[in-house]
Structure formats: structure tokens, C-alpha cells
Structure 1
Amino acid sequence: MRSVKSFIAAGAATLLSQAAFAADMAIAPPPYAPPVVEDFGGWYLRGDIGFSSQRVDRLNNRLDSTLTSSVQTNNFNSAGIFGLGVGYRVNNWFRADVTGEYRGNSQFFGTDRNTFVGGVGTDTYHATKSEWVVMANAYVDLGTWWCITPFIGAGVGGARVAINGFTDQGIVSNPTPPGPALAGLAFGDNVAKWNFAWAAHAGLAYRVTPSFTVELAYRYLDMGDGLTGDLRAFDGTNNINNPTTFKHITSHDLKLGVRWDLTSPQVYAPSPLIRKG
């Protein structure tokens, strides 16, 4: 009997020593996983530069009612775009910002070949146009591949359209009754007016670092109408309430932008290895 008790006691001691040895062993480390970056969104600043390709549907004047027909050709030179803004990235797919930009001087050249009671004439137009544009924009990011994120967006706001140095040189080449060609030159005072404006955006964003992103974007911008002052002759005479309206000014813009995130993403690393003793 004594030998059985001794055997049981020895076995129990062995089990206890093995349990204590196992407890003193290091806890096995978990499999390695890279740090998890949580993107919670946040505020950002932006800057943009670019150039424009602008259009106007036609030039209107109240004296157009006297014309039998009118065929216009109107063109703007390209102009620079310079903008700044502040925005908020809500999550990985939605963000919004408010931007203000200056659109530099664009030279305007136009012609109007018309017929009217008393002759056939041609008008040649010149002017300079510039704008200040303030917009509230919203964007949807469509996913990210190799750090490149395509996006679309829309914006609404206001455009201050300024028409400066407008001139209208007219020539009547076939007057009735027959006689020598007639020529005249009219001027319009500088006018700036605010209009409702809206825009549609599309582009690609490349995330260089967690806090710095570069954008290449296209924008269609509708800025409403431009306006001149009453037209007057070189001697100062004018017809009252006789401005020229630039009807429906639009622009196709190509822009290069940068964004600086003001909120750094939070990084979570695995818990440290814990050893007993």
C-alpha cells in the first residue's frame, strides 16, 4: 500500500512541475500582420492652377431687332486659372470643399455679318473678359488602384463676370441708296456682374503620401451672361439702354491641383509580446 501511495505522490509532483514549466514558457506570438491604417477623414487645404477654353453662344443687342439676318463668329483666347480652397473628407468615398478662384484676362474677338433694311454690314468686336468664381463642390471617389483614385463631382456658386474695353467697329458695305461704304466705331463701358454658376468635375487623384495628394481634373463651368455698358460713338453720343450682352458663357477647364490633409491617419499596431516573470 505504501508503494502505491508513493507512486501516486510522485506522479502528482511530476504533473505539477510540468504545469509550472509550461506557465513559465513565453506566450506564443501571434502571426505578424501589418499595421492597420484607419482613415477617419478630416479637413484639407487645396490649391489649383490651369487653363480654360471658353465659349459664348452669341452677342445680343436691342438693335438686333432691326436686322434681317445675322451670322456671328465669336472666340476667346485661353486664360489662366488660379484657385484656393478648404474642404472636408467625410470618409473614403465622399468629400466636399469651398473654393475661390481668379480666372485671368481672356481676349475676345468676334464678327457679325448681317443684313438689314438699308444695306449689308459687318461688325467686328473686341473685348477683354475675366472672372472671380466662388463654388461649393462635392465629390465621390470611385475606388483606389495603385494609389490612383478616379472621381466625379458637381458644384454650385457664383461668378463675377467682367467685360472690359468692348469695341464694335461696323462697316456698311452696300448701303441703300447706293453710295460709299460707311464705317462707325462704338464703345461699351466696363461692367462686372455676378451670376449663378454651376460646374461638373471629373478627374484622377494620386496619393503621394498619407497627407499629400495630386489631382489632374477636367471641369465644365457655366458662368451665365456678361454685359457691357451702353454703346456710344467716339464723339460720346449713344442710344440709351443699348448694352451688348454676352449670352451664356461656358468654359472647358483643365486643372492641376494639390491637397494637403490636415488630419493624419491613425495607425494601430499589434499588441506587444507579453512574457511572464
Structure 2
Amino acid sequence: MRNLKYLLAATAASLLSTAALAADLPIAPPPAYAPPPPADFGGWYLRGDIGISNQSVKRLNNALDANLITQNQTLGFDSAGIYGLGVGYQINNWFRVDATGEYRASANFHGRDLNTFPVGGGPIGAGVDNYSASKSEWLFLANAYVDLGTWWCVTPFIGAGVGTSRVTISNFTDQGLASFGAGALPSSAFADSASKWNFAWAVHAGLAYKVTPGLTMELAYRYVDLGDGITGDIKAFDGTNNVVNPMTFKHITSQDVRLGVRWSLDPTPVYAPRPLITKG
């Protein structure tokens, strides 16, 4: 019985000594861990674009066309520059939107119209009209894009946009030659400049390359439908005109190649985890 009392007393003394020693030791802080990386999406950006157009028009319409028997048109535009600015928002890793405005520089137009027409009640005459003009636009679009994944900092994307265009036709001239059997009659006419607002839409496809967290380069293709253009009333070079007959450029479209830059206003920082803090 006495040995049991000695054993209990020794055990209690040992426990008290251990507790006192533990109370004297400093409390170690919990290990510090690096925070999770920030989400790689979200934020406003500015953009700028330059490019070149490849434009076409379906046909030219005029009030006097109703008098023709046959008509065969060959029409085309020279390429011209494109200059645009915009602001957008990256909603998540794969979806973004922006609003853009651009000036499409003046492109030279050239066309030829071969036609036949009745002369009085009997013979048929033939004519050729050689057209020239220049065309420019302002284009405003609201766009949405889907980013299709990123490989080696390159992100392919597709997109679509809707908006409005203001098409301006300037310096329109018509150099014509009409033949009536053995005779031929030259003619010349011109039209004042005129502008027309249209509904416009576009589809996009391209590649984006992230140079830095705040800077992205784009190389993109775009098909854009600009609507119709119209001239002022066509008059003879002496100013005479017997009928109101402006020339309508029906269904102007363009296949554009553009180089763009996007600047993020709140770029995602480059994540580098902090080292684990350990007590030496």
C-alpha cells in the first residue's frame, strides 16, 4: 500500500513539472501558406485596330434601269485603310464584349455597265457606261467574342457584332457611249456626294497573343455587311436633268484583315507563391 502511494505521488509530480515547463515555452504560430492565385479573368480593356479592306458591291440601281432590255455590270473597289478604337470588358476566361468605332478610309470605285435599250418603236441601241467614284464609311459595332482556349499564350477566338454604318459616296461620274446603228453619242454625267445610315453586322475570327498580363495582340479576319450607299441626283455636266435618278450601291460588303492591340486597365498580376515560413 505504501509503494502505491509513492507511485501516485511521483506521477503527480511529473505531470506538474511537465505542465510548468510547457507554460514557459513560446507558442509557435501556425505555418504561413501562400494565398491562392487570383482568378485570370475580369476587367476593362481598351483596344486599337488598323487594317485593310477588300470590298464589293452586289449591283448599281438607277431609276432609268427600267428602260433597259439587258444589263451586265462589272463593279469593284480598291483596298483602303481601316482605323478603329474601342472599349471592352473581359467577363470570364472565355467570353468578352466590346464596343468599337472605326473610320474606313476612302476607296476608289470603278465599274462598267454594258446594256441594250429600245430606240423609238423599232431598233435596239447598245451602250456602255464607265463609272468612277470614291466611298468611305464610319462603322460602329457592339461585339461579343468566345475565346476557344489558350496554347503557348495564343488564343483563337470567334465573334459577332451588330451596329450601324454611315456610307458616303463621293465624286461619282458616268462616262457613257450609246450607239444607234451607224451612229454613236457620247455622254457624261456626275452626282453630288451623299451619305446613308444603315444597319450593319459582322462576324470575326482570329488569333490573340498575350505579350504581357496587360497587353494582347490580335490578328483577325472580319466579314462585314455595310448596307447600301447612295449618290446625289445624277445630272449632265451642263447641270440639266429631266428625272431624279440617284445611283444606289446595293449591298456593300467587305472582307477585312486587321491587326489589333488590347490594353487591360486592371491586368491580372503575375502569380508567384510566397515561400513557406518556418521557424529556425
Superposed displacement of residue 269, structure 1: 4.2
Could you say which residue in structure 2 is the equivalent of 1:108? 109
User: In the alignment, residue 161 of structure 1 is paired with which amino acid?
Assistant: V
Relative to structure 1, the CA distance from residue 98 to residue 28 in structure 2 (aligned partners, 3 Å threshold; closer, same or farther) is closer
Superposed displacement of residue 37, structure 1: 3.2
For 1:94 and 1:199, the matched residues in 2 are separated by 17
Superposed displacement of residue 21, structure 1: 11
Residue 242 (str. 1) matches residue 245 (str. 2) = yes
Relative to structure 1, the CA distance from residue 253 to residue 34 in structure 2 (aligned partners, 3 Å threshold; closer, same or farther) is farther
Name the SS of the counterpart of 2:182 in structure 1. Answer: coil
RMSD, matched Cα: 2.7
Could you say which residue in structure 2 is the equivalent of 1:179? 182
Relative to structure 1, the CA distance from residue 91 to residue 72 in structure 2 (aligned partners, 3 Å threshold; closer, same or farther) is same
Name the SS of the counterpart of 2:242 in structure 1. Answer: coil
Name the SS of the counterpart of 2:183 in structure 1. Answer: coil
Counterpart contact for 1:68–1:115, Cα < 8 Å: yes
Could you say which residue in structure 2 is the equivalent of 1:117? 118
For 2:197 and 2:154, the matched residues in 1 are separated by 37
Could you say which residue in structure 2 is the equivalent of 1:164? 170
Name the SS of the counterpart of 2:227 in structure 1. Answer: coil
Instruction: Structure 2: give runs of 5+ residues left out of the alignment.
Output: 120-124
Report sequence identity in percent. Answer: 58
Relative to structure 1, the CA distance from residue 239 to residue 269 in structure 2 (aligned partners, 3 Å threshold; closer, same or farther) is farther
Residues 126-145 of structure 1: CA deviation (Å, up to 9, x unaligned): 00001111111111111111
Counterpart contact for 1:230–1:239, Cα < 8 Å: no
For 2:208 and 2:20, the matched residues in 1 are separated by 63
Residue 265 (str. 1) matches residue 268 (str. 2) = yes
Counterpart contact for 2:107–2:135, Cα < 8 Å: yes
Superposed displacement of residue 226, structure 1: 0.5
User: In the alignment, residue 142 of structure 2 is paired with which amino acid?
Assistant: A
Could you say which residue in structure 1 is the equivalent of 2:226? 223
For 2:37 and 2:265, the matched residues in 1 are separated by 20
Relative to structure 1, the CA distance from residue 127 to residue 138 in structure 2 (aligned partners, 3 Å threshold; closer, same or farther) is same
1:188 is aligned, of 191, 196, 203, to 191
Residue 50 (str. 1) matches residue 51 (str. 2) = yes
Counterpart contact for 2:31–2:276, Cα < 8 Å: no
For 1:86 and 1:275, the matched residues in 2 are separated by 49
Could you say which residue in structure 2 is the equivalent of 1:142? 148
Superposed displacement of residue 240, structure 1: 2.9
Superposed displacement of residue 39, structure 1: 2.5
Superposed displacement of residue 4, structure 1: 4.0
Displaced runs of 4+ in structure 1, greater than 3 A?
A: 2-30, 266-272
Superposed displacement of residue 76, structure 1: 0.3
Counterpart contact for 1:188–1:231, Cα < 8 Å: yes
Relative to structure 1, the CA distance from residue 142 to residue 22 in structure 2 (aligned partners, 3 Å threshold; closer, same or farther) is farther
Superposed displacement of residue 260, structure 1: 0.4
For 2:96 and 2:88, the matched residues in 1 are separated by 7
TM-score (structure 2 length as normaliser): 0.87
